[in-house]
Amino acid sequence: MSELLWGAVGDLSRFAALLTMAELGLADHLADGPLEITELAERSGSDAPALRRVMRELAGMDMVRKAGPGTYELTEKGAPLRSDAPGHVRSSIRMLGEESFWYAMGSLPTTVREGSSAFVKRYGHLYDHLAADPAVSDLFDDYMTARALPFIEGLTERYAFPATATMVDVAGGKGHILATVLRANPGMRGILFDLEHVTGHARRTLEEEGLADRSEVVAGDFFTGVPSGADIYLLASVLHNWDDDDAVSILRNVRAAMKPDGRVLVLETVLPPEDEEAHLGNALDLRMLAIFNGGAERDRGEYAALFEQAGLALNEVMTLGAGASLIEARPR
C-alpha cells in the first residue's frame, strides 16, 4: 500500500515535468535531433541548470534519453508532445496544468469541506471564464477535441445514423465530432450550436473539412433554446457539466425542439453501479466536482431519471471505448 501511495506522490512531480516539457515546447526543439542542454535552454528560453533537472526526470519517464554528455534526444514516447503530432497531446497537458485548472484540483480539499467549487468561487463558471480569456479558451477547445478523438471513430462505426438525417451538435465546440459524422454519412446535414465566442472556430473547421455546403453554425444558449426540427440532437460532454436541474432544463429544450420521431444522443462517461469498481469515470467525476458546482458523472439509472423528467426515455447504452459511452434516448 505504501508503494501505491508514494507512487501517487511521485505522479505530481512527473506531471509537472510533462507540463514543463509541453509549455517550453521541448519536443519541438528536439524534433530535428539531439541538443546539448545549454542549446536547448537557449532555444526554449529557460535556465540551463533548472532545465537539466527536469530533463533528468523526463529521461526517467522515457520521454527523452541521453545522447551524450549533457545532451538529450526525443524518444518515441515523447514524440506525441510535438506541436505537429496528431491528438493535441501537448495542448491537453497544457490545459490541465493551466493556472485555473491547477488551482481547481489543488483546492479539491476546500471544495469538499465547503461543498461548493473553489474554482467557481475564484474564477466564476467555467464557460464565463473561457469567454473572458481567449488563450485559455483555445487551449480548452484543443483539449476537448483531443479527449473526443479516441471515441469519435467508435461513434461512426458502431451507431447506425439515418442516411438523410439532420443532426444538431449541441455545444459542439470546434466541430470535430460533427465533421466526423458528416464525412462518414454523406447524405446527412449538420448544425453546430454553441456560444458566440466558439462559433468562429467551428466555421473554420467545417470549411477546412469541405463540409460548409452540408452544415450550418448557429450561436446561442441551450438554456434558452436549441435549433428546431432536426432528427438527431447530440450532446457530447455536456450534461456532466451541470447539476440535475440544469441538465433536465437542457434536455427539455432539446425535447421541445426535436421531431416527434427524433432521438437524443448523449456522449458521456457512464459510471459503473458499484462504487468499489475502478473506473476512469471516477477520476473524471472528481474533475467535475472541482470545476463545477453540481457537475457530475452519472450512472445509467441517473441518466434514465434525467431523461424521464425531460419527457424522454433511455433506449440504449453503447460502450465506445476510452471510458466513453453513447446513450440513446427517444421521446416518451
Which residue numbers are catalytic? 240
Sign of the alpha-carbon torsion through 277, 279, 281, 282: positive
Question: What is the 8-class DSSP label of residue 89?
Answer: H
| Kind plus residue range of the DSSP H or E element containing 212 | none
Question: What is the 8-class DSSP label of residue 272?
Answer: P
In order of 43, 77, 137, the CA distances from 18 in angstroms are 18, 12, 21
At 138, give phi and psi (nearest 5°): -65, -45
Amino acid at 153: E
Terminal CA-CA length for the chain: 49
- In whole angstroms, give the CA distance from residue 238 to residue 55: 38
- In whole angstroms, give the CA distance from residue 153 to residue 181: 9
